[in-house]
Amino acid sequence: MIWTSTRQAIHDALAGGWLNRSDMGMLEHIKLHCRVQKSNTHNNNARIQDQLEAGYILAAIRDQRPLVQSWLYFAYDIAEHAQDRSEIACELFDQFFRGHIRANKISRYRALCEVSVDDYRLRILRQKPLPVQVYTRTMKTHPDHFVRDWQGKRDKCLDSIASLDKEGIGNVSCMVKSLRGDSEERPSEILYSSYKSLI
């Protein structure tokens, strides 16, 4: 495959199952919202190489700790990963807010965590944040009070998600560099060393 970034490599590898269903360019745009740059599609060896590269990247994703893995699936896969979204939002709630808030505000804090996960995903994919109105509508709060009451809490959530993203991208980028030929380690050696570290 032809990649310009690790994020694109993750997206294309996760989209590999969809790519095998059809070679129609229009269908790719409808399903994947972009064109995946495959190798020579008329050559069977190139297709096999694309699938092998995607398999190595998927293995590198599966080597991440569970929360990072959930983030990578939610942020970069085209399929709906509601369970992964919920898991990340619950972790944010537990990390920052559990035990520090009154019972009548729990639903607002949970909504803040859920919308923050969607917000950061949008910031990565479209380079634009969700409007404050999405937060206030979901949290059932007044828009004029968001900056005063909620902006700092939202920023904590976004910073935590950013660190998940940075960790996942950083770890998978070793595999992408190896597949490009920019590393002395072979892809199988990277997987073996991460396997040994788990033992």
pLDDT tens readout for residues 69-104:
999 999 999 888 899 999 999 999 999 998 878 888
The domain ranges of the chain are 6-65+171-198, 69-166
pLDDT, tens digit, 9 for 90 and up, residues 89-145: 999 999 999 887 888 889 999 999 999 999 999 999 899 999 999 999 999 999 999
**Number of other CB atoms surrounding residue 121 within 10 Å:** 19
| First CA to last CA distance, the chain | 32
Average of per-residue pLDDT values in the chain: 84
Whether the Cβ atoms of residue 121 and residue 33 lie closer than 8 Å to each other: no
Q: What is the CA radius of gyration of the chain?
A: 19
The two tokens of residue 133 are: 């109105």
Provide the pLDDT for residue 169: 96
At residue 34 the predicted structure's pLDDT band, cuts being 50, 70 and 90, is low
Read off the amino acid at residue 171: N
Name the pTM for this structure: 0.82
Give 177's contacts (C-beta < 8 A, 6+ positions apart). Answer: 183
